[in-house]
Structures are given as C-alpha cells and as structure tokens.
Amino acid sequence: MKKQFIILCFLFALSVEFTFAVEQRFPRPDFESGYVQPEPTSPAARAAAWQYIDIAVLILTLSLSSWLVLQRRSRNLIFTLMLFSLWYFGFHRQGCICPVGSIQNVVAALFDPAYAIPVTVVVFFIVPLIFTLFFGRTFCAAVCPLGALQDAVIVKPQKIPAWLNQVLGLIPYLYLGFAILYAATGAAFLVCRFDPFVGFFRFGFNEGMFIFSIIIILIGMFIARPYCRFLCPYGVLLKWLSMLSKKHATITPNECIQCHLCADSCPFEAIQIPTPDKYPGDTTRTRRQLYLLLALTPLIVLISAWSFSNLSVLLSREHYIVQLAEQIRLEDSGQATSITDASKAFRGAGATTQELYLQAAQVQRQFKTGSWLLGAFIALVFMMKLIYLQFWRRRTDYEPDRANCFSCGRCYAACPKEHERLRELQGVLYSEDI
Amino acid sequence: MKEADEKPVHRRQFIKAGLHTTAALAIGGLAGMALSKSAPANLVWQIDPDKCIQCERCATNCVLNPSAVKCVHKYAMCGYCDLCGGYHRPGTKNLDTAAESQQCPTGAINRTFIEEPYFQYTIDEKLCIGCGKCVKGCGSFGNGSLFLQVRHDRCVNCNECAIAKSCPADAFVRVPANKPYLFRGGVAGAEPPNPLSGEAS
Amino acid sequence: MKIQSGRKTLATVLVMLVIAATITWLGYHSLTRKPAPTGDNPFEYDIETYRHVPEEMIRYTQIRQIPVNLDKLLALAVAADKRICVSGDNKILQYDADGKIARSFNLTASAQCLAIASNYRLFLGVGNHIEIYDTTGALVKRWPPFDANSFITSLAVTHEAVFAADAGKLIILRYDLNGNLLNKIGEKDTTRDIPGFIIPSPYFDVAVDPDGFIWGANTGRLLLENFTPEGGPRSHWGTSSMRIEGFSGCCNPSHFAILSDGSFVTAEKGLERVKIYDRAGQFIAVVAQPSLFRQGTAGLDLAVDSDDCIYVLDSGARQVRIFQHKNSING
C-alpha cells in the first residue's frame, strides 16, 4: 500500500508539472513551409531484461563457485571463474549495483519512506548472504568483482603481525556502522563514494579517489586483499554467516596429517594451526579477565554511545539539508563569507527558511538517535572481540578460519593428501611422480 | 577457557544449528522487509528541469567524460527565435553562426534557417558537455525549451551518483527505468500520465 | 628449483610492470580529463554586467507595495479611481486605492490579462476569449472566441472600442463595446509593409496612446509598433541590445504601458528591468533595475494611474510595487 501511495504521489507530481509545462509551451509558430517539428530523442535506459540476466549470472556464478570450492577443489577453475566475474560484474556491468553497496539501498528502503528499492537490488543483497550461510564465503572467492580485482594483483603477499591483523580487522565494523548511519539518514552512500575499484571499471576517477585506489592496489600487491580484510562492510555480514555455514571449504580432502605445508600457502593468514593439548595460560587469571570484561561491557557501551551522541551534530554536517540550513543561517545573520549555489537555489525555489530549519532539526534528531546506536554498536563489537579472545578451543588439525577464509582454494595444492586424491583420481601412483 | 574442549560436541553443534536457523530467519526477514518496500522497475537518475539551476557541475562531476548529462531541446516549446538566448552570446550584435557569436563552449548547437523569420536549434549530443550555459540563456530570455537531462544511453547508473551528490539544487531524482525522462512539456507523443491509472501492481 | 624461481621472478616483474603501466595510463587519463576546479565557473552564463544600472539613471523610487496572496500572479490593472485589480490562480482580487482588499471572486479559469473600463466593468482575457464582469464580480457577458487557437494576452479598453492582443493568431483584434469584431490590426501584409507580429513566448501587449493610436509589442522583433485603429501602419521603434537603452534577449518588451504625456513604460524578462522611453522611443530613465527583482521573474505586468505612478506586478515577490517619479515626490 505504502509503495503504491509513493508511486501515486510521484505520478501526481509529474502530472502537475505537465499542466504547468503545457502552459509554457504556448505559442507555437505557424510554419508555412511545411516544416515538421522534430521531437527530442529519448534513448532508453538499460532494458529490464538485463536485470534478470544479471540475477541469473549472479546465481550461476555463486553456484559454480560453491561447487568448485567444495566439490571440484580446483584453484585454477576458481581463478578462471573469478576473472569472468571481474569482467562481467566489473568491466561489463561497470560496478553498479554490487552486493557491497546494496547494503545502503536496503537500509535506505527500511528508513526512508520515499525510497522504493528495486527488486534486483534486494536480490543482489540477499543471494550472496544465503550462499554464505550454506557454503561459506564462496561469493568472495570468485564472484565479487572487488575481491577479484585485488586477488588478481597479489604479487608477493607478506605476513603481518597477528595483533595488527586483529586490530585492522575491526575497521569493517566501524565502516559498516557509519555506512548504515549515513544511508539511514539519507546523508550519503559512503561505501559507494569510497569504493576504490569502481573507478577502474569505468575508467573514471576524481583526483582524491584515484590516489586512494592506487594506494589500495599497491598495498594489495604485498598485503593480500586489503579492502576485503580491513574495509569491506559486506564482509562483516559474510563473516558472521560463514561462521555458521552448513558447509565450508576444507584444506584437506579427507584427513589432516598435520604437515604444516598449508599454513604458508594462505596469503590471508586465515589458516588456524593446531593448539597445544592443554590451555597454555593461567586459567584463573583468564577467567577473572573474562568476568571483568563482561562486567565492564555495559559501562563501556554506554560511555561510547554517549560520546558518539555528542558527535552527532558534527556527523550530521554531511547531510545536504543540514549543510544548506547552516549556510542559510550564516547568510541571514550576516556571517557568511560568500553565497553558495545551493543557497541561491533554495531562495529561488520559494520554500521558507522556517521549513528548512525544521527539516534540518529533524535530520539532526535522526543523527542523534543514530549516533547513540552507532556508539553502542562499535563498543559492543570491540568488547565482544576482547571477550572472544579470552576463549580457547583445542584444535588438533589445520583448519580454515571460517570468518576470514575467502575460500580461494590456494591451500588445496599445498596438502599432500590432496595430491594423493588427485593421483588416485587419475589412476596414477603417487610414488611414480617423485 | 579450557574446559570447553572436554564438553560434548553435540551441545556446540546444537547451538550452531540454532544460530544457523536464526541467521536464516534474519536474512528472510530482512529480505521480506526490503521487498515490501520494493518497486518492480529499476531506478535510474534524472534531473528535474524545474529545479535545475545550471550550476555547471553536471559537466565536471560525472564519472564519465564527457558527462552523461546533455542538453535536450523540446522543439514544441521553442519560439524559433532569430536571436536565441541559448545560442547567442549575451550582448552579441551579429545574429549569425560565427564562433564568436555563439555561447556554447563546444559549438554543439546547430542553427538552421527554416523560413522567415524562424530558426531551428538542434543539439549535437556528440559535442554537448552538459554545462547548461544554453539552458540558462534560454530559460532567462526564452521559453525554457532547452533543459538538461541524464541521457540513458550513456549513464552507468552509479549507486551514488557523483553529480547528484554535488547538485546544489537537489534536482537529481531517481525515476523508474521504464519512464526515465522528465522532459518539459511532456514526453514525445505521450498523454500526460493519469495519477489514477497504471502502476497498479 | 632455480629455473622455477627464476620464472616466478620474471612473472612477478611482468605483473608489476603491467600494473604500473595500467596505473600510469589511468592516472594520465583521469587527471588530464577535466579542468581543475579553480572556483571560476568556465561555463557561467554571465549577464551580470548588464544587470548593473548606474544610480543616476534611476529616476523613480518605490513608494508602496501591496502583498498579493496568490501563487501565480498573471495580470494587473488600475482604474481611474486608483482601484487595483490583480488576476491569478483562477481568481480576481480587487484592492481599493489604499491597498486594502475590497473584493475577490473566482473564475472558471485564470485570466491571462485584464482591463478596467471607465464604468469600472472588468474585461478579462481568459484563454481564447474575452469575459466581462461588473463591479460586484458577476459575469455580464462572454464574447465568443475569434478563433479556437486564439490566446488573449492583453486588453485595452477605450470609450468606443476594445483592443485584444491575440498571441495565438498574431494579431490585435478591435471590437466595439458590444463584442462585434470591427477589424484586425497588424496582420502580416507585405503590400502594406506590415511584417506581422512574431511572438515567440506568451507575452504580447497592447495599449492605446493619448492620441488614440494603437501600440503593439512585436516582441520577436524587439519593437513597439504603432497602428491606426483601422489597422494602418504608422511607425515603430526599438533596438535589440542587452544594454540599458535596448530590449534584451529574443522577445521583449514583455509588457508596456503609456503615460499621460504619451511616453512609454516598458518591462523586460530575462533582464528584469522597467524603463521609460519618450514618445519617439528615446531611452529616458530607469524605473526599476534588475537587482530589485528575483532573478528569473517573468511577466512584470505594468499599469499606470492618473498621477502617472507606475504599478509593477512582481510575480516573484508576489506583490504589486508602486513607483513614483523622484521629482514629483520632492516637489
């Protein structure tokens, strides 16, 4: 009902414009030479059929990727599929809409009553999540064009310290929080604005983004997939779901012989090595730390929420209406150094300053609530991370870290058991080859 | 915590299965909520010509070069003037097609004689960069038959349109892809839309 | 082993070279493509120089303004007793000489133009026809349209005739007071040296001078043209120029009125300015400079009262502005 109402409002607004325009186009000259007035052309937007082809390609590539990761176990084929996705979703589709950015459209649909989200965008958001919930991050492995571009430029991956890995790994949560806040308030689509790869797909950058893109690519040659690991907000959702997934890529096709060969093959440091039999630390101390953290969590969450709520006015400055209201206020009080195009446009449009201030106050209230939630969310993520680190689970085998494994398949070839399997598949004795 | 490793495995599996189901339900719920607010047609960007103030950002801020925004001429609204506010440089004495008489920075407007005293003005979209200079001239002195529109044979439909983001008049709107233009004076040959018909889905 | 690692190094170097080349190319491509934002708008449509008017040219000053509570203001007329009528939003508003609202009544459609006869009857141009109302707002008569495609943009009423500017048919129609069409004025006629009106936008004004001759604004030629009531061509004046002495743009003046001494008040759109010309069309003075109006205000309808005060309908600010000559205030 709401949707229909919005569409009706839109059409009504259009019809009002038309009556106005009909008035304007009078009078038309009387041509005597038989001249026929041409009509302006209106080249069509991308045909709707392409949307369905995109969805079909998305589902096909996800299925194929999952099969390659879980059944076929072939890094070469995964890489080939990844290149295809890079071409199709990246260079052919030119980046939009991608599941990473679609988070914001979904958020906008939930919070902005005037925004009706296209079905395609919902599908692009949901389908990779479902696949991840069942098969792990096979989307990252060979479907995401952003991941594919980074995967293709990995030249000499370096290990980074574990603590740094953990700390940087928290950035995506921050990014996700901010992206949701800004999308929900209608201020901006941050993820799209700071997408370092879409410029490559379109061969068009602005100056700032060009430098950022180049830095990410250069870093990506030595620290594998930096955006995926330390920025991607969609990766946060995929992490959570991958930890719960029904199936997941395994390093060895059957049993782990604990040879350690796989551990160095992963450029993302997403392979967990076996632990000692007994917890190496002081159990009582760890437990005390855990209780302390649990007790502190509500307090820290509150402090953080409060701190962020104090920043809400600052954060709201990114919103168009707040910027405009601020400018108008400065101009009206004689403090403005210059008049902007936006204030000129506003004054030309005939809305009253009072209405504008009311709208801006409304936006700032939304930011106030949003900042409370954002602060609480960020503190909660940090505390959960600290709490999680107190837990210890015994591991006997080499296993992929489900949260951080991209299912890229690089480790398959490192496993002696895998070679055994392949030889058996081909009916060749393993020993002959040596 | 060390005691976790000795606990029966099935408890952990039970919790995991529970969480798995919860996650599935959460995804379903999110999808349902999003779909309840969805529109069948894709959305594309367009300029509302009545809000546009011809600030030039369309020419410089598009991710494409040249911009996907072009000037469109609605002939039915044109006065076919000899002295065209969109074509001629303000204050020019010579009503001719010499370069110094034209105000279009790329010479993208063609002026052709129809019959005394009428001239037709045509936009060459290959040359148009979407700066809106002619739109301003036509809107100031003439009937406003020239206006800027996002041309969908060029637009790549960025999720966050770089021009929309910088538009000072908030003139960029998302419109359904099957009706992707907001022409002045109505779309070619089309009846003005009836607010009570169509889009019944 | 050695061969393999050599091959690997080679591959690494190659990949790095390819990436470096791509980056260089993209960098060149993206950084050279657009003019650096300098703050100057290279595409600015600049008529600011023409918007400035030297102070000494402005001989009139605004003495009063009357706010008009309508969305779309269309037309204005002032009667002999200085009552003011404004048309807009399918309505007519009547103000008394002090600017207090005396009466308002609704119409079935908006009146594009209006004129007040000496008996205070209202003549309205509504679309393609003329309607006459009495002082209470009751419809007296509706004259049949001259043509279905007629579009009446201006009316002038004298003691014996009504002159209607028809922008649809590009002529001025002369009626007697009973609505009988007497003759057409200004129709294109090469044998009589009448070039015909060119009306590119819906502004086409008509007025009668103190000698009883008819003036029409040939906006497409940026001229005021003079005819006898019977349609005989007499003279014309006007120059095309953005400068203060000329008429700007494609189609101006959008409105004009005639003062008691036969000099002209003209209003332009595009460059919103109101100016005075003498009987021969010599530029005399400025009444209102562009900076007084919101940019983009079109259709500044004009009226003149018995004291030669000038009434301007400002549709942008939604008010009637009344201007008086500076000398007559001082004296």
Q: Which of C43, C243, C270 sits opposite B140 (nearest CB)?
A: C270
Q: Which residues of B touch C45 (CB under 8 A)?
A: 54, 90, 103, 133, 136-137, 140
Q: Is the pLDDT of residue A411 over 90?
A: yes
Mean pLDDT to the nearest integer, B124-135 = 92
Structure tokens at C132: 């006459």
Strand order in the sheet with C319-325: C60-67, C319-325, C310-314, C301-304
Whether the upstream peptide bond of residue A97 has omega within 30° of 0, thus cis, is: yes
- Cβ of B85 within 8 Å of Cβ of C37? The answer is no
Residues A301-316: tens digit of each pLDDT: 998 998 888 888 889 9
| Sequence-separated (6 or more) residues with CB below 8 Å from residue C113 | C74, C75, C87, C124, C125, C152, C153, C154, C155, C165, C301
Interface contact flag, A27 C151, Cβ < 8 Å: yes
pLDDT at B181: 93
Token pair, residue A355, equals 């209405």
Helix/strand/coil (H/E/C) assignment for every residue in chain A: CHHHHHHHHHHHHHHHHHHHHHHHCCCCCCCCCCCCCCCCCCCCCCCHHHHHHHHHHHHHHHHHHHHHHHHHCCHHHHHHHHHHHHHHHHHHCCCCCCHHHHHHHHHHHHHCCCCCEEHHHHHHHHHHHHHHHHHCCHHHHHCCHHHHHHHHCCCCCCCCCHHHHHHHCCHHHHHHHHHHHHHHCCCCCHHHHCCCCHHHHHCCCCHHHHHHHHHHHHHHHHCCCHHHHHCCHHHHHHHHHHHCCCCCCCCCCCCCCCCCCCCCCCCCCCEECCCCCCCCCCHHHHHHHHHHHHHHHHHHHHHHHHHHHHCHHHHHCCCHHHHHHHHHHHHHCCCCCCCCHHHHHHHHHCCCHHHHHHHHHHHHHHHHHHHHHHHHHHHHHHHHHHHHHHCCCCCCCCEECCCCCCCCCCCHHHCHHHHHHHHHHHCCCCHHHC
Report which secondary-structure segment, H or E, holds C49: helix C48-51
pLDDT band for position B13 (cuts 50, 70, 90): confident
Same domain flag for A338 and A231: no
Out of A35, A117, A199, the one facing B115 most closely (by C-beta) is A35
Within 8 A of A33 by CB-CB distance, chain B residues are 114-115
Residues A245 and A292 in one domain: no
Q: Is A15's pLDDT higher than 70?
A: no
**Residues A118 and A237 placed together within one structural domain of the fold:** yes
- The string of DSSP codes covering C155-197 is EEE-SSEEEEEETTTTEEEEEETTS-EEEEES--BGGGTB---
> A374-409, pLDDT tens digit by residue?
999 999 998 998 888 888 888 889 999 999 999 999
| Distance, CA of A363 to CA of A33 (rounded, Å) | 58
Residue C60's identity, in one-letter code, is Y
List the single residue in B145, B152, B196 with the smallest CB-CB distance to A44. Answer: B152
Residue A239 and residue A221: Cα distance in Å, rounded? Answer: 23
What's the rounded Cα separation, in Å, for the pair B133 and B137?
Answer: 6
Yes or no: say if C241 and C252 are a contact pair by the CB < 8 Å rule: no
Contact A29 C202 (CB under 8 A): no
Q: Residues 171..190 of B with a Cβ closer than 8 Å to C: which?
A: none
- Say whether both A83 and A158 belong to one domain: yes
Specify the residue for token string 């890489």.
A79
Copy the structure tokens of residue B79. Answer: 């006065």
Amino acid at the residue B174: R
In the stretch 44-63 of chain C, residues with CB closer than 8 A to chain B read: 44-47, 50
Nearest residue to A366 via CA among A302, A319, A300: A319
Tokens of C206: 């008509």
Interface of A with C in 141-200 (CB under 8 A): 153, 155-156, 199-200
Give the nearest partner residue to A96 out of B157, B168, B181, using CB atoms. Answer: B157
CA B124 to chain centre: 18
Burial class (CB in 10 A: 0-12, 13-18, 19+), B16: middle
Q: How deeply is B195 buried, as exposed, middle or buried, from its count of CB atoms within 10 A (0-12, 13-18, 19+)?
A: middle
Residue A313: alpha-carbon gap to chain centroid = 26
In a domain, A406, yes or no: no
Residue C324: which residues within 8 A CB-CB, separation 6 or more? C60, C61, C63, C307, C309, C310
A-contacting residues of B 81-110, CB under 8 Å? none
Across the interface, whether the CB atoms of A199 and C12 are under 8 A apart is answered no
Contacts of C27 in chain A (CB under 8 A): 210, 214
Select the more confidently predicted residue: A283 or C7.
A283
State the smallest CA–CA distance between residue B142 and chain C in angstroms: 6
- Res. B195: pLDDT tops 70: no
Contact C123, C132 (CB under 8 A): yes
Angle at A292 between CA A290 and CA A298, to 5 degrees: 105
Q: How many domains does chain A have?
A: 2
Closest Cα partner for A390 from A269, A314, A322, A296?
Answer: A296
Q: Which of A26, A156, A205 is nearest residue C30 as measured by Cβ atoms?
A: A205
Rounded to 10 deg, the angle between the A48-67 and A75-85 helix axes is 170
d(CA C23, CA C19): 6
Average pLDDT of span B50-56? 89
Asked whether residue A2 is assigned to any structural domain, the reply reads no
Do the strands C139-142 and C129-133 form a parallel or antiparallel pair, or are they unpaired? antiparallel
List CB contacts of B147: < 8 A, sequence separation 6 or more: B47, B49, B52, B71, B72, B74, B135, B139, B183, B184
Q: Which of B14, B54, B63, B181 best tests the A interface by mutation, with the highest count of A CBs <10 A?
A: B63
Specify the range with the lowest mean pLDDT, choosing from A7-16, B104-113, B138-147: A7-16
How far apart CA C197 and CA C207 sit, in angstroms, is 15
**Whether the Cβ atoms of residue C158 and residue C165 lie closer than 8 Å to each other:** no
Write out residues 198-227 of C within 8 Å (CB-CB) of B.
198-201, 220-222
Interior/surface letters A254-276, b for 16+ CB within 10 angstroms, e for the rest: eebeeeebbbeebbbbbbbeeee
pLDDT for res B9? 67
What pLDDT score was predicted for residue C3? 45
Answer for the pair C196, C186: CB distance below 8 angstroms, yes or no.
yes
**A360/A306 same-domain check:** yes
Query: For residue range A165-197, what is the model confidence (pLDDT) as tens digits?
Result: 888 999 999 999 999 999 999 999 999 999 999
**Identity (one letter) of the amino acid at A362?**
Q
Q: Are A294 and A242 in the same domain?
A: no
Report helix, strand or coil for C258: strand
Note the pLDDT of residue B196: 30
pLDDT over 60 at A18, yes or no = no
Residues A289 and A245 occupy one common structural domain: no
Same domain as A219, residue A78? yes
Tokens of A12: 């009504």
User: Where does the pLDDT of residue A130 fall: very low under 50, low under 70, confident under 90, or very high at 90 and above?
Assistant: very high
How many residues are there in chain B? Answer: 201
Confidence grade of residue A140 (pLDDT, cut at 50, 70, 90)? very high
Question: Higher pLDDT residue, A18 or A125?
Answer: A125
Q: Are residues A200 and A307 in the same domain?
A: no
**Selection from C212, C271, C263 nearest residue C247 by Cα:** C271
To probe the interface with B, which of A7, A106, A347 has the most B CB atoms within 10 Å?
A7
Strands B38-39 and A117-118: parallel
Does the pLDDT of residue B11 top 90, yes or no? Answer: no
In this structure, the answer to whether residues A130 and A244 fall within a common structural domain is yes
Are residue A99 and residue A221 in the same domain, yes or no?
A: yes
| Residue A257 lies inside a defined structural domain of this protein | no
Which residue in this structure is represented by tokens 């099957």? Answer: B178
Q: Answer left, alpha or beta for residue B75, where phi above 0 means left and psi between -120 and 50 means alpha.
A: alpha
Contact B82 C250 (CB under 8 A): yes
- Mean pLDDT of all residues in A87-104: 91
Tell me the per-residue pLDDT of A23-51, one tens digit each, with 9 for 90 and over. Answer: 444 556 778 888 888 888 899 888 888 88
Partner B contacted by C33 (CB < 8 A): yes
Residue A256 token pair: 């782990």
Contact A408, A75 (CB under 8 A): yes
Q: Which among C156, C117, C115, C121 is positioned nearest to C136, based on CA atoms? A: C121
Give the domain extent around A331. Answer: 283-390
CB proximity A284 to B under 8 Å: no
Q: What is the mean pLDDT of residues B86-98?
A: 82
- Identity at C30, one-letter amino acid code: S
pLDDT of res. C41: 58
**C-beta of residue B47 within 8 angstroms of C-beta of residue B150:** yes
- Whether residues A65 and A177 share a domain: the answer is yes
Domain boundaries, chain B: 8-36, 43-176
Q: pLDDT-based confidence at A142, cuts 50/70/90?
A: very high
Q: What angle do CA A133, A138, A140 make, to 5 degrees?
A: 110
| pLDDT (mean) for B151-177 | 90
A contact residues 324-363, partner B, Cβ 8 Å cutoff = 340-342, 344-345, 348-349
pLDDT < 50 positions in chain C: 1-4, 33, 35-39, 331
